[in-house]
Amino acid sequence: MQQEERLTKKSFQKKDKHLSLRLNFAVLNFKKETIMKRLMFFLMILAGLTYFSSCTEKYKKEIEHLTYTADSLKAVGESKDAFAMEYVRSFNAIQANLDSIKQMEKIISDQTDNPETRKANEDNINRDIDAIYQLLLKNKQIVDRLKSQLNTSGRKNSELEQMITNLSEQIRTKDLELMELKADLSRKNLQIQDLEANLEAMEELSRQRAAEIEDKINELNTVYYITGTKKKLEEQGIITSEGGLLGIGKTQKVAHNPDLSLFTQADLRKISALPVFSKKAQLITIHPTESYEFMQGSEKQIDSLKIIHPDDFWSSSKFLVLMID
């Protein structure tokens, strides 16, 4: 009986062992299948990503090309819009000037209707005629600019070309009318300035006047400055030392006729500071103290003279003499 039990027990142990082996094999197979499935899944994902990546690069380049094309078309459209708007603004300006010319012509006509008051209005009439010429010149400049823009744009637009031609003809006609008006006023015993001058001559005269005004403005804004030690400035005849006792307490003043060629010429609108780089600095010429400031640098050195208020600074003198030590 005990022997049978031992045999039965061994049989069960053997069956358990076989079952355990089968289970382990099944588990291994399951794990193997799972790993293979996961591997296949990852391989599919990798293949998909590779394909998607290649497609993405392809489409990315295509999108970049389309974006560039769209931006180019947009820029062209904006350029055309800006071009068109410039013409609209120019035409409006020309029309506004023509309207002003008509009003001035009516004023001149009203001022010359009455023979008794005609002579008294002579100065006003000349000013109005000059104003008309200035408006005509503005129109001519606008038309010339439109011509230049159209030629350099590379565009062909017959309508715009015709409009520019018509505007040029209007200006030429108005110039002839103005010449006739001046002749008519002259026949009425009025002294008309630039009687024989047409628009071209008036344009040249206008340029001369503008140049004269520009020269005058530049002259008014021209200043002169010089920097140097006391010894150097005295040797150059820029400053003199006066007063004092036995060489003590002397003050420096600008000489009466200093050599202008030794000074640096500048435009007061463009000069805001002068380099100093010295431990001591003193203005010999007179300038309001609140209009400038000495800018301190490192090692107790004055780096520069800063002009805070140019108009005030140069109000007393157009010359600056800066003595350094």
Q: Is the pLDDT of residue 83 over 90?
A: no
200 and 298, same domain (yes or no): no
- The answer to whether the CB of 102 falls within 8 A of the CB of 170 is no
120 and 144, same domain (yes or no): yes
pLDDT-based confidence at residue 282 (cuts at 50, 70, 90): very high
Give the tokens for residue 47: 């293949």
In a domain, 125, yes or no: yes
Which residue reads 């200093």 in tokens? Answer: 258
pLDDT-based confidence at residue 305 (cuts at 50, 70, 90): very high
Residues 18, 20, 24: CA angle, nearest 5 degrees = 115
Q: Is the pLDDT of residue 27 over 50?
A: no
Report the mean per-residue pLDDT for the chain.
Answer: 76
Rg (CA), the chain: 47
pTM for the whole thing? 0.50
228 and 198, same domain (yes or no): no
pLDDT, tens only, 168-225: 888 888 888 888 888 888 887 778 777 667 777 777 777 887 788 899 999 999 999 9
Q: Is the pLDDT of residue 68 over 70?
A: no
In a domain, 293, yes or no: yes
Residue 3: the pLDDT is 44
In a domain, 65, yes or no: no
Of 71-75, 169-173, 226-230, 238-242, least confident by mean pLDDT is: 71-75
What average pLDDT does range 2-13 have in this prediction? 44
What average pLDDT does range 129-142 have in this prediction? 86
230 and 128, same domain (yes or no): no
- The answer to whether the CB of 107 falls within 8 A of the CB of 128 is yes
208 and 128, same domain (yes or no): yes
Task: Find the domain containing 310 and state its range.
Answer: 223-324
Domains held by the chain: number: 2
In a domain, 170, yes or no: yes
Q: Quickly list DSSP for 16-50.
A: HHHHHHHHHHHHHHHHHHHHHHHHHHHHHHHHHHH
Residue 117: the pLDDT is 78
**Most confident of the following: 102-106, 170-174, 189-193, 316-320:** 316-320
Q: Which has the higher per-residue pLDDT, 68 or 317?
A: 317
Closest-CA residue to 325 (of 300, 307, 298):
300
In a domain, 34, yes or no: no
Residue 6: the pLDDT is 46
For residue 226, count other CB atoms closer than 10 A to its CB: 23
pLDDT-based confidence at residue 293 (cuts at 50, 70, 90): very high
Residue 165: the pLDDT is 85
129 and 208, same domain (yes or no): yes
Closest-CA residue to 220 (of 321, 319, 318):
318
Q: Which has the higher per-residue pLDDT, 117 or 38?
A: 117
200 and 271, same domain (yes or no): no
213 and 227, same domain (yes or no): no
Residue 131: the pLDDT is 86
Q: Dihedral (C-alpha) 262, 263, 266, 272: value to the nearest 10 degrees?
A: 140
- The answer to whether the CB of 252 falls within 8 A of the CB of 323 is yes
198 and 233, same domain (yes or no): no
Q: Is the pLDDT of residue 237 over 50?
A: yes
Residue 11: the pLDDT is 47
128 and 210, same domain (yes or no): yes
What average pLDDT does range 110-139 have in this prediction? 84
What average pLDDT does range 91-106 have in this prediction? 84
231 and 135, same domain (yes or no): no
pLDDT, tens only, 244-276: 555 565 788 999 889 999 999 999 999 999 999
**Most confident of the following: 52-61, 137-146, 201-210:** 137-146
Q: Which residues of 60-69 are buried (b: 16+ CB within 10 A; e: fewer)?
A: eeeeeeeeee
In a domain, 180, yes or no: yes
Give the tokens for residue 55: 């497609």
198 and 231, same domain (yes or no): no
- The answer to whether the CB of 175 falls within 8 A of the CB of 199 is yes
In a domain, 169, yes or no: yes
Q: How far is CA 78 from CA 69, 71, 114, 148, in A?
A: 14, 10, 56, 20
Q: Is the pLDDT of residue 109 over 50?
A: yes
How many Å apart are CA 284 and CA 250, to the nearest integer?
A: 13
3-state secondary structure 65-120: HHHHHHHHHHHHHHHHHHHHHHHHHHHHHHHHHHHHHHHHHHHHHHHHHCHHHHHH
Give the DSSP H/E element, type plus range, for residue 54. Answer: helix 2-113
In a domain, 56, yes or no: no
